Every structure is written in structure tokens, then in C-alpha cells.
Amino acid sequence: MSRRYDPDRRQRITDAALRVVGNNGIAGLSHRTVAAEADVPLGSTTYHFASLDEMLAAALRQVNEGFAAAVRDSEALADPACDMAAELARIIGVWLAGDRTGVELEFDLYLSALRRPVLRPVAAEWADAVAEILARRTDPVTARGLVALIDGICLQVLLTDAVYDPAYAREMLARLIP
């Protein structure tokens, strides 16, 4: 029997892991549930991901890219004359107004690093990437503070079901920007 060439299988498994966690939480994640969701043999999940933590790391890395890409791709942030606080508040608003399930999934995976130390470096990648982008417009310490504030604002909106207030976000962000 010949092996089927399937270069996208690892990505399909990662996408399936995201759907499983989105639907059933991290507790619902297993090689078996992901294999069924991805419609691949169970052995494929263990071949591509030796552990569930490795699978979660791939899923976290993938979802982390969304917000970081929005910051990185902002043409306004590249302009030194841009109101950095207003642009960041706008980006946060767009992100939070998107797919709520996806945003919650991103934070669910991000916060899973609290209980799974192996995921902490992956969670840190997001903060480092966004801080690096923001440090192009401000100093590295302020950039880290902005990342922490963005995290806090987003988490509070998600946890309290509050309506995102871009004026408040802009004011708080502006207080950190020299």
C-alpha cells in the first residue's frame, strides 16, 4: 500500500484542533477527537503532534497571528504622525467586533499557558511580536506596557460581556504613550 501524499495534513489537524477546542474546550481535546474532526487516521495526529501540548502550541501559534497581523499590517501605525492610541483602539475594536467565538478561543488557548508551562513560550511569542512592532513607534518598555494594557482591556470586555468603549481604550493607551 502506498502512502498518500498530503502536504497540508498537519495544517488540517491544527485547524481541527482549533474547532475541537472552540466547540468543546481544551478538556475535549484528544488525538482521537481531532483525528475524527480532521477526517484523518488517528496515527496521523500522533505522527504530526507527539503530545496534546504540542498540538495546543501549534493551535495557539496560529490564533496568535490574527491580532499581531492586524497591528503589523496597520499602515496608520507606520506613519509617525498617526495618533497611535487611536489606531490601536480602532484595531482592538475591529478585533473584538469580529468572530466572538474566535476571540474567546484565542484567549482560552492563551490563558491555558497558566496551567501548561510548555505553552508559555508560545504565549510570550505573541506579546513579544506585538511589542516589537509597537517599539518601532515608542520605546520597548512602553511597548510592553501597551501590550499588557491591550490584553487587560480585551480580557475585561470578554469576561464581563461589556461593550467595548474605543474612547476609553484610546484614553488609557494615550496615557502610556510618551
Q: Is residue 162 part of a domain?
A: yes
Q: Is residue 1 part of a domain?
A: no
In tens, the pLDDT along 135-168 reads 999 999 999 999 999 999 999 999 998 999 999 9
How far apart, in Å, are the Cα atoms of 111 and each of 15, 64, 91, 122, 170? 19, 12, 21, 11, 25
Domain identity same for 13 and 90: no
pLDDT above 90: residue 6: no
Domain identity same for 172 and 129: yes
**Residue 6 vs residue 68, higher pLDDT:** 68
**CATH number of the domain enclosing 21:** 1.10.10.60
What local confidence, expressed as pLDDT, does residue 1 receive?
Answer: 42
Number of domains in the chain: 2
Answer positive or negative: Cα dihedral of 33, 36, 40, 42.
positive
**CATH number of the domain enclosing 107:** 1.10.357.10
Residues whose CB falls within 8 Å of the CB of residue 104, separated by 6 or more in sequence, listed in order: 158
3-state secondary structure of 137: coil
Residues whose CB falls within 8 Å of the CB of residue 12, separated by 6 or more in sequence, listed in order: 38, 40
Instruction: Tell me the residue range of the domain where 80 lies.
Output: 61-176
Domain identity same for 38 and 99: no
Domain identity same for 16 and 104: no
Domain identity same for 41 and 20: yes
pLDDT above 70: residue 9: yes
Domain identity same for 33 and 119: no
In tens, the pLDDT along 35-90 reads 999 999 999 999 999 999 999 999 988 888 888 888 999 988 889 899 999 999 99
Q: How many CB atoms lie within 10 A of CB 48?
A: 20
Domain identity same for 89 and 159: yes
Nearest partner of 177 among 150, 126, 139, judged by Cα: 139
In tens, the pLDDT along 110-143 reads 888 889 998 999 989 989 999 999 999 999 999 9
CB 38 within 8 A of CB 12: yes
Answer positive or negative: Cα dihedral of 118, 119, 122, 127.
negative
Domain identity same for 75 and 131: yes
What local confidence, expressed as pLDDT, does residue 78 receive?
Answer: 87
Confidence of residue 4 (pLDDT cuts 50, 70, 90): low
Q: Is residue 28 part of a domain?
A: yes
Domain identity same for 102 and 32: no
Domain identity same for 121 and 46: no
Q: Is residue 56 part of a domain?
A: no
For the entire predicted model, the pTM comes to: 0.83
Domain identity same for 74 and 162: yes
What local confidence, expressed as pLDDT, does residue 99 receive?
Answer: 77
Q: How many CB atoms lie within 10 A of CB 8?
A: 8
Q: Is residue 25 part of a domain?
A: yes
**Residue 93 vs residue 66, higher pLDDT:** 93
